[in-house]
Structure 1
Amino acid sequence: MSSPSTPTRGRPARLDRTRTLHKALDLLNQSGLDALTMRRLADAMGVRAGALYRYFATKQDLLTAMAERMMDGVAESAAEAGEGDWSEQLTALARAMRTALLAHRDGARVYAGTHATGANVLGFADACVGVLREAGFRDDDAARALFTVANFTVGHTLEEQAALRASDGEPADPEVLREALTAGTYPHLSATLPTLTSTDFTRLFDFGLGLLVEGLRARR
């Protein structure tokens, strides 16, 4: 009897954890998270669906492993870019995380809700906490700041990626908001419409991150 990983249609067996993760990320970038299923991944690997469960017991296990892979090199790249005081180092770490998530279609959706404990995610977290502790923050404040910065980064990137239409990658039509404001009485929103409809997501991210850093500076 053939094993669950016996290839179909005579193709050679090429299944291992690393190759499976690479293929899963390829499929994610091609079609998005909603289209990524264990069956489709198995078909792309040329194996039976049950073979994947050797490495990933559930799809959530697969997503957690994908999140870990996305964070590969993030802490190291931030260390190279973030010279200066603690605020510049922390800012570099957050920017590097955003860049890593944006590198993959629906990257923030994949990362959100996972609790990876691999070297990439833990290395990033350790770097964030280390920067703050060495700057004189209390241990509990450093840990909470890690959650705050990471959650802001993931949340912002979720909205940023959601604002791009999956079909062609173009920003959502700002006319939708403009028409909604015209239909009602929202003077303050109307006054700030150019900013509200801006697609300069990097500037928006840096503004929010700056607020967090200044809040931490005041607390320190």
Structure 2
Amino acid sequence: MSAPSTPPAAADTRPPARGRPPRLDQTRTVEAALVLLDASGLDALTMRRLADAVGVQAGALYRHFATKQDLLTAMAERMLEGCSAPPSDPDWSGRLTALARRMRTALLAHRDGARVYAGTHSTGANTLGFAETFIGVLSEAGFGPQEAARTALTVVHYTVGHTLEEQAALQPGDQGPADPGQLREAVTAGGFPHLTAALPVLTGADFTAQFEFGLGLLLQGLRALHRAGSGPAA
């Protein structure tokens, strides 16, 4: 007697399982935000557009970034990656110059980078590492903790402010500072002899030369104070 045949398995009529939404990764999200920033600028960077870029619902972003300012802080922290390594210049003022240049380069690497950075207060390793290196250079040169901190803030604020103006003048489609022809015409027609003599600089677009000039003034003052054996006045 033969064994009873096994009945055929019933067809699986369940609908196929939907794929899980992508796991939200903070590092990947910040990278996507920087890509959107470079493509469209800060004004077009919204939480909704970022959510679409990483394939999640907009509300999911708020698990990592409670506000857009939190996102900008994380982006600013990412911009300073690699900036904290101690410069090799043997002179302390040369090391400060290198750090300021490094920061400007990092902000210029992204469209509206200085706008993103301004007003953020990251406590991440990149930001704190950069500040530690900067203040460490000053401390080793003989400046006290307060003077070193104030000097660091002064140089950082100068660097961010200069880069803000630089990036505002060089938005896509612009050729340099706002309408230099209009400025030249207004100055020459208005009888401003000192401004007329300064027009080549005022209407120029050599932002690196201007940055280096201002940074040089700051460092010149610091060197003078250092030679005098006293730090900046509180």
TM-score, scaled relative to structure 1: 0.90
How far has the Cα of 1:187 moved from its partner?
1.1
Structure 2 letter corresponding to 1:162:
A
- Structure of higher CA gyration radius: 2
Structure 2 letter corresponding to 1:89:
R
Q: Which structure features the higher share of helix residues?
A: 1
Which of residues 126, 129, 132 is equivalent to 1:126? 132
Q: Provide Cα deviations, 1:83-119, integer angstroms capped at 9, x if missing partner.
A: 1210000000000000000000000000000001111
Q: Is the 8 A contact 2:21 2:56 kept in 1?
A: no
Q: Is the 8 A contact 2:36 2:45 kept in 1?
A: yes
How far has the Cα of 1:11 moved from its partner?
8.2
Change (3 A) 1:45 1:201: same
What do you get for the CA RMSD once the two structures are aligned? Answer: 1.6
Aligned equivalents of 2:80 and 2:38: distance in 1? Answer: 16
Structure 2 letter corresponding to 1:170:
Q
Aligned equivalents of 1:187 and 1:169: distance in 2? Answer: 28
Aligned equivalents of 1:157 and 1:42: distance in 2? Answer: 29
- Give the corresponding residue for 1:206: 212
Q: Is the 8 A contact 1:42 1:52 kept in 2?
A: yes
- Give the corresponding residue for 2:191: 185
Q: Using the aligned pairs only, state the percent identity.
A: 69
How far has the Cα of 1:183 moved from its partner?
3.4
Q: Is the 8 A contact 1:63 1:111 kept in 2?
A: yes
Q: Is the 8 A contact 1:75 1:96 kept in 2?
A: no
Classify the secondary structure of the residue corresponding to 1:217: helix
Aligned equivalents of 2:158 and 2:48: distance in 1? Answer: 33
Change (3 A) 1:135 1:47: same
Change (3 A) 1:14 1:180: farther
Structure 2 letter corresponding to 1:171:
G
What is the aligned residue count?
A: 208
Which of residues 151, 162, 171 is equivalent to 2:176? 171
- 1:90 equivalent to 2:99? Answer no
- 1:23 equivalent to 2:32? Answer yes
Which of residues 147, 150, 154 is equivalent to 1:141? 147
Aligned equivalents of 2:206 and 2:121: distance in 1? Answer: 30
TM-score, scaled relative to structure 2: 0.85
Q: Is the 8 A contact 1:101 1:107 kept in 2?
A: yes
How far has the Cα of 1:179 moved from its partner?
2.0
Q: Provide Cα deviations, 1:153-209, integer angstroms capped at 9, x if missing partner.
A: 00000000011133x363244212112213312111110100111111111101000
Q: Provide Cα deviations, 1:51-87, integer angstroms capped at 9, x if missing partner.
A: 00010000000000000000000122xx34x412100
Q: Is the 8 A contact 1:25 1:104 kept in 2?
A: yes
Change (3 A) 1:11 1:64: same
Which of residues 10, 29, 45 is equivalent to 1:36? 45
Structure 2 letter corresponding to 1:111:
Y
- Give the corresponding residue for 1:74: 83
Q: Is the 8 A contact 2:176 2:204 kept in 1?
A: no
Q: Is the 8 A contact 1:101 1:157 kept in 2?
A: yes
Change (3 A) 1:187 1:17: same
Q: Is the 8 A contact 1:171 1:199 kept in 2?
A: yes
